[in-house]
Structure 1
Amino acid sequence: MKEKKLLQEYVYPAVFHANDDNTYTIIFPDLPGCISEGKSLGNAMKMAEAALTQWIEYLKDSKEEIPVPSKLQDVELENNEFVNFIRADIKDTRAVKRTISLPRWMDEQAAEEGLSLSKILQEALSKRFVTAN
């Protein structure tokens, strides 16, 4: 059986600037406007990953071009800065149509309550997949 690629990986250099108060400001030279901060180095690494993930998802949703990442050696640094690669795994969130079967009474109850069966199914599957991992 052919394995489907559920995640798309993006890796970009991030510049970490050490601030006087021991926090870090993070910028992505290839993604103007993609900026974050961290209260510690570990927190800054997590914040950089979250910022990159959200930025790439925004570009994909907006159907904007995703820039090619710079090479590590091409990133210019100032005092109190270092560069590190940050990875973002982006899930394919495109909707697909499925035909499902359920008892008539469930369908009628859901219709009476104005429930979205698609939303309920997505929420249920999300909970199941989170607990399974």
Structure 2
Amino acid sequence: MGVTSPDLPGCVTVSKDETDAIKCAKEALGLHIYGMEVDGEPIPTPSSIKRKGAAYVLIEVWMPLIRASIKEYSVKKTLAIPAWMDRAAKEAGIKNYSLMLQVAIAQELGIDIKAETPFSHPAPTIA
């Protein structure tokens, strides 16, 4: 089962059934609009669902959640530290090496982590 948007060329998904089609359509719509935002393209207004020859379903996405999920996507990195440093960190009660690395990288790059929240993006787009 294929799902397309007549107002968003290239926004296409394929699903196994109607339930999956709606789920996939929401994901495709959110990612497509996000790409348009990043590229600076205008977001079209929603069109009427009254068209002949096809079944239409209203698909809604809340863009702040889409933006946050893309921005906050984690990338797995493998790293090594000296054994003495691991022992010292454990003795100091440090358990979350990932957070420590994130803080260190942010400091090195001069990034204010507190300012980089999922909702520090533009206002939601209604599509």
Q: Name the count of aligned residue pairs.
A: 82
Query: What amino acid maps onto 1:26 in structure 2?
Result: V
Query: What amino acid maps onto 2:106 in structure 1?
Result: S
- Structure 1 unaligned runs (5+)? 1-23, 96-109, 127-133
Instruction: Give the deviation of 1:115 after TM superposition.
Output: 2.2
Counterpart Cα distance in 2 of 1:62 and 1:76: 32
Structure number with the higher strand fraction is 1
Residue 50 and residue 119 in structure 1: after superposition, are their counterparts in 2 closer, same or farther (change >3 A)? farther
Aligned: 1:88 with 2:45? no
Q: Deviations over 1:71-120 (max 9, x none)?
A: 111x342xxx411110011018599xxxxxxxxxxxxxx69x96235597
Aligned: 1:38 with 2:15? yes
Aligned: 1:61 with 2:33? no
Alignment of 1:3-14 (within 5 A): none
CA RMSD between the two structures: 3.4
Q: Which one scores higher on RCO, CA 8 angstroms, separation ≥ 6?
A: 1
SS of 1:36's equivalent?
A: strand
Instruction: Give the deviation of 1:51 after TM superposition.
Output: 0.3
Instruction: Give the deviation of 1:47 after TM superposition.
Output: 0.2
Counterpart Cα distance in 1 of 2:112 and 2:32: 25
SS of 1:26's equivalent?
A: strand
Query: What amino acid maps onto 1:70 in structure 2?
Result: S
Task: Give the TM-score of the pair, scaled to structure 1.
Answer: 0.50
Q: Which residue of 2 aligns with 1:116?
A: 106
Aligned: 1:47 with 2:24? yes
Counterpart Cα distance in 2 of 1:115 and 1:52: 33
Task: Give the TM-score of the pair, scaled to structure 2.
Answer: 0.52
- Structure 2 unaligned runs (5+)? 72-99, 119-127
SS of 2:33's equivalent?
A: helix
Q: Which residue of 2 aligns with 1:25?
A: 2
Q: Deviation above 3 Å: which 4+ runs of structure 1?
A: 92-95, 117-122
